[in-house]
Homo-oligomer: A and B are copies of this chain.
């Protein structure tokens, strides 16, 4: 099957929202009057971000999920995306499953594929996603203020737990493995929470490289520091007795870390409820530019918790 047949068979569907979708030199999108366009791009490489033999359905889900997660962190409503795909061979079975996984998640968020490119090459997936947000309402990394509470959605470290188990480095109960693997392969982008946090959160980021590393981006952008408490983090794992490092720097979590002033705690609770997404308070923003981790006794926890850097780590290493 050639390049154009591939695109036609697996990636061309009637457009719902775009003026023009797949099949011309450009797609055409008519933004709603006055809205800003939130745009993000991610590239997933076989052997770096996923195993070459991963189930293509879950890979299609995850490739889109990591991009939706960026829109969530920005408080943007998903609109559309483009897909660039390099494939070692034209495999209809693989493509069928991949596109089904991708479109299943896309349809949940009314986010439509409007253009793309396919080529032969080492398996690589690059998605660029578009969402909309009213001017001034995007959640940025730069708005955290001293005194703000720090929150995280869902659970942390389970994707890493699943990865280590699949690599045979640790063993898990069957129940925990199913859950951890689900979190690794089919993360849930926190779109509803991001939308609910507009006007409440002062800053937000999605946790893709690990809690400490991604929170540090917020601190750098906001020129602030933070104090986190291990006893508030410990309950955030799905399996007992996980290393704290998985929570702090596991990577691939796709949860939201965000900040909000203490007088909006009830509003945060209501936002979490309306989005049906669990949210935990894990610390607070400090004026001094430092990220401190305290145990239940208030003692400073030392240790190096390296964040995931795609130039120093990979699932294949």
Q: A residues bordering B, Cβ < 8 Å? A: 1-4, 6, 19-20, 23-31, 33-34, 36-49, 70-71, 73-74, 76, 82-86, 90, 114-122, 124, 126, 128, 130-131, 133, 135, 138, 140-142, 204-206, 221, 309-312, 314
Complex: A2 Cα to B82 Cα, angstroms:
27
26 contacts between A and B (CB under 8 A): A3-B310, A20-B138, A20-B140, A24-B140, A24-B142, A25-B74, A26-B38, A26-B76, A27-B38, A27-B39, A28-B36, A28-B39, A28-B74, A39-B115, A39-B130, A41-B84, A41-B115, A41-B128, A42-B117, A43-B124, A45-B121, A45-B122, A84-B126, A117-B126, A121-B122, A124-B126
* Integer count of this chain's copies in the complex: 2
**CA A278 – CA B241 in complex, angstroms?**
71
Q: Which chain B residues lie closer than 8 Å to A30 at the CB level?
A: 36-37, 135
Query: In the complex where A30-B135, A71-B26, A311-B3 touch, is A117 in contact with B221 (Cβ < 8 A)?
Result: no
Contacts of A27 in B (CB 8 A): 38-40
Would you call B86 and A24 a contact (CB within 8 A)?
no
Q: Are B24 and A141 touching (Cβ within 8 A)?
A: yes
Q: Which residues of B contact A122 (CB under 8 A)?
A: 45, 121-122, 124
Are B24's CB and A39's CB within 8 A?
no
Task: Decide: A40 and B128 in contact? CB cutoff 8 A.
Answer: no
- With a cutoff of 8 Å between Cβ atoms, the chain B residues found around residue A37 in the complex are 28-31, 37
Contact A133-B28, Cβ < 8 Å, known A39-B114, A41-B115: yes
Q: Most chain-B Cβ atoms within 10 A of its Cβ — which of A24, A30, A135?
A: A24
Residues of B within 8 A of A138 (CB): 20, 26, 28
Q: Which residues of B contact A311 (CB under 8 A)?
A: 1-3, 6, 90, 118-120
Please determine whether B309 and A221 come into contact, CB atoms closer than 8 angstroms. Answer: no
> Cα distance A20–B140 when bound, in Å?
10
Q: How far is the CA of A48 from the CA of B309 in the complex (A)?
A: 27
| Nearest B residue (CB) for A317 | B120
Taking CB as reference atom, which chain B residue is nearest A203? B24
List, in ascending order, chain B residues with CB within 8 A of A39's CB.
Answer: 26-29, 82, 114-115, 130
Give the Cβ gap from A88 to chain B, nearest Cβ, in Å: 10
Question: How distant is the Cα of A48 from the Cα of B20 in the complex, in angstroms?
Answer: 29
